[in-house]
Amino acid sequence: MKKITIVDYGSGNVLSAQKSFIKIAKDNNIEVDVLISNKLDDVKNSTHIVLPGQGAFSTCMNGLKKTDGLIDELSEFALIKKKPFLGICVGMQMLAKVSEENGAHKGLGWIDGQIKVLPGDSLKLPHMGWNLVNPKNSKYNNLIMTKNDYYFVHSYYFDCANKDNILAETKYGTNFASIVGKENIYGVQFHPEKSSSQGLDLLKEFIGV
């Protein structure tokens, strides 16, 4: 049975994400255990991890650090055991080495790159609403991506050092990475849990339904 843990560190849209995975399980008649937790044993025993995020980068990173051993356990899960890991919105941004939001702040550093403010003096921030996601690679490992609209709320973007880590792009002032990936680790700048049926389809691909 698949065991999905949505990491609860005080700064994520955890309930909406949980409801999305529960709906996927019900619609596909499969057994999935969907937890909202920051317990190390729950992370260790999971088949899939989802790291959501809302608010400022530094606040989210500090939230992870408040639970002793949580970052180490997540690193073991994603980097050593190489199990499927998904970051959503700021959860995606925390995969980077550093963020320039409100000063310089260190991220997890799992995917090389920096988090920068969306460029453009006349650009309305945050970038909020539906926008087109254009896959640069229609399939990456077990994740099949299709050109579609998804729901965004953000002012910063992931500037990948290695362009091979950019799986899809979206245009808002500039072309920015809206899906990143490295081996078993994925990140989406948009909110699939708020993106109707296409968002659910992407989450289904992530858990291999």
Helix (H), strand (E) at residue 166: strand 166-172
Q: Distance between CA 166 and CA 135 in Å, rounded? A: 9
Q: Give the three-class secondary structure for 155.
A: coil
Residues with a known catalytic role: 89, 191, 193
Q: Which residues pair with 130 in a beta bridge?
A: 151
The rounded distance, in Å, linking the Cα atoms of 147 and 29 is: 27
Pick from 75, 203, 187, 86: nearest CA to 144: 203
Check if the beta carbon of residue 204 is closer than 8 Å to that of residue 171: no
Q: Where are the alpha helices (DSSP H) in the chain?
A: 14-27, 40-44, 57-66, 70-75, 90-93, 196-207
Q: Are 108 and 170 in contact (CB under 8 A)?
A: no
C-alpha distance from residue 180 to each of 2, 76, 88, 148, 159 (Å): 23, 20, 11, 16, 10
